[in-house]
Amino acid sequence: MVERAKVPERTLKRRFQVATNTSLIEHLQNLWIEEAKRLLESSTLPVDEISAAVSFRRRFKRCTGLTPSQYRRMFQPILKATGNGPQ
């Protein structure tokens, strides 16, 4: 990102914080969590495969209030109703 922005890393982080009222790393983590939520909602990939690391599980729970498994269980009835879930 620094190379593309052609500004020093510190400047990029500071400007991002001012413009969005969130840190750059928080923004990237939120994007990662949103992608994980999408996969948990719409796929049957194992949670371990999606989360891949304990630190991710903690971060996911901190951001959503739920573990990845709990989040997935919320969407199982929807997956079954649409025929996309395990039978």
Residue 55 sits at the vertex; the CA angle it makes with 29 and 36, to the nearest 5 degrees, is: 50
9 backbone dihedrals φ, ψ, rounded to 5°: -55, -45
Q: What is the pLDDT along the chain (87 residues), one digit of tens a residue?
A: 778 888 999 999 999 999 999 999 899 888 888 888 888 888 888 888 887 755 677 778 888 888 888 988 888 776 677 776 654
**Region label for 42, one of left (φ > 0), alpha (ψ between -120 and 50) or beta (otherwise):** alpha
pLDDT at 57: 76
Q: Record the pTM.
A: 0.57
pLDDT at 55: 67
pLDDT at 76: 77
pLDDT at 59: 79
Question: Closest by alpha carbon to 35, among 45, 23, 24?
Answer: 45
CATH number for 2-82 (one of 3.40.50.12780, 1.10.10.60, 1.10.357.10, 1.10.10.10): it is: 1.10.10.60
Task: State how far the Cα of 67 lies from the Cα of 58, in Å rounded to an integer.
Answer: 8
